[in-house]
């Protein structure tokens, strides 16, 4: 069995080109864009990021102001209410995006644009994915806190100007290394979940845990191939990001403004989102019929790619 990275990409692109451009239909773009919005944008994967750096004095002032604010019980209740509301909204978005992932995958597999029918038919799978993701997020937060807290304490004591702060700074090294390793593991879990476990759930009609079990047995036999797949996808995303930045710069940044709009951004990004959605299943299909999502669903085949491995 020979496993390729380029051939699945070519097949995924052919499938997307056929779906989006041959023929071009506005309805397909608008409906499929909504499916992509449910799947990708509500999961927070493409939301805007906010980076803010504080100097030492400003950090202490903010901490004092927060402490003063929370000293009043009424404001504490308000703060708790806000946090709970944000958490509830986040959980609702997560549920919607979990179901949306199967809607989008179903549309790509069947080369059609629909929302209501796959939402109902695949709801059980979406709910299973939602529950698994909730547990994963809680576990990830607990693990992150286990080294984030000592990391924060180390940094704060170093900033406090202790005469032996250089010793504490040395302690940052292993903690930062742990944090980086943790981040890498979480990123790979997210990648494998989206590109492989969700398609396996869809193909076999099984829950998240059973699908992970099936995937991990395959992963265990092909560790290097799947780890390299992660690097391959990262390189693709960098290329897409470079193209998006170029196009944005060529339009006085109005292109960026367009992408920032919810739903509008997902419609505009369909030529990237659809191939990425199809890439995982195309790669997985190389490992045998029992992993072939398109064949099992009776999804229409893309045009044969010259030179692709059989």
Partner 1 sequence: MRPSAIATGSAARSGAKRSTAAAWLAWSLAGGLALAAWLALGAGALAGSGPTCALREIAGIGCPTCGMTRALECLARGDLAASVRQHPLAAPFVLQAWVAWLAWGFALVSGIGGLADRWLPRVVAFDAAALVVVWLARLLTGASTP
Which residues of the shown chain bind partner 1 in the complex (CB under 8 A)? 21, 23-26, 248-254, 257
Six-digit token pair at 147?
Answer: 């080294």
Complex with partner 1: residue 29 or 226, whichever CB lies closer = 29
Q: Please state the closest distance from residue 41 (CB atom) to partner 1, in A.
A: 21
* Least Å from the CB of residue 257 to partner 1: 8
To the nearest whole angstrom, how small is the minimum distance from the Cβ of residue 253 to partner 1?
5
- How near is the Cβ of 17 to partner 1 at its closest, in Å? 13
Q: What is the DSSP-derived secondary structure letter of residue 52?
A: -
Q: Which of 3/114 has CB closer to partner 1? A: 114
Q: Name residue, tokens 């991990």.
A: 216
- Which residue has 């202790």 as its token pair? 162
Tell me the two tokens of residue 177: 């290394």
Between residues 83 and 249, which has the closer beta carbon with respect to partner 1? 249
In order of 36, 95, 96, the CA distances from 116 in angstroms are 14, 16, 13
DSSP code of 262? T
The residue (of 22 and 221) whose beta carbon lies closer to partner 1 is 22
Question: Dihedral of CA 42/48/49/55: which sign?
Answer: negative
Q: Is the dihedral of CA 160, 165, 171, 172 positive or negative?
A: positive
> In this complex, which beta carbon is closest to partner 1, that of residue 170 or of residue 242?
242
CB of 21 to partner 1, least distance (A): 8
């Amino acid at each position: 069995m020979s496993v390729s990275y380029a051939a699945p990409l070519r097949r995924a692109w052919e499938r997307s080109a056929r779906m989006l451009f041959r023929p071009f239909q506005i309805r397909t773009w608008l409906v499929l864009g909504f499916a992509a919005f449910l799947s990708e944008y509500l999961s927070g994967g493409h939301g805007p990021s906010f980076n803010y750096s504080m100097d030492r004095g400003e950090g202490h002032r903010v901490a004092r102001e927060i402490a003063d604010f929370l000293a009043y019980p009424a404001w504490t209740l308000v703060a708790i209410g806000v946090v709970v509301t944000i958490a509830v909204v986040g959980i609702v978005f997560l549920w919607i995006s979990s179901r949306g992932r199967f809607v989008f995958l179903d549309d790509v597999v069947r080369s059609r644009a629909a929302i209501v029918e796959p939402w109902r038919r695949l709801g059980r799978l979406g709910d299973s994915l939602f529950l698994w993701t909730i547990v994963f997020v809680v576990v990830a937060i607990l693990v992150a806190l286990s080294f984030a807290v000592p990391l924060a304490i180390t940094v704060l004591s170093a900033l406090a100007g202790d005469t032996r702060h250089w010793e504490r700074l040395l302690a940052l090294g292993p903690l930062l290394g742990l944090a980086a390793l943790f981040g890498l593991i979480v990123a790979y879990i997210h990648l494998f979940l989206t590109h492989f476990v969700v398609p396996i759930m869809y193909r076999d009609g099984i829950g998240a845990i059973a699908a992970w079990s099936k995937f991990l047995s395959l992963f265990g036999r092909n560790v290097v191939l799947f780890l390299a797949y992660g690097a391959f996808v990262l390189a693709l995303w960098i290329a897409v990001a470079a193209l998006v930045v170029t196009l944005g710069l060529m339009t006085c940044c109005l292109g960026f403004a367009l992408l920032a709009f919810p739903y509008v951004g997902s419609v505009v990004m369909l030529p990237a989102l659809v191939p990425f959605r199809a890439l995982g299943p195309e790669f997985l299909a190389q490992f045998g019929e029992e992993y072939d999502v398109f064949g099992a669903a009776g999804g229409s085949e893309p045009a044969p790619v010259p030179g692709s491995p059989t």
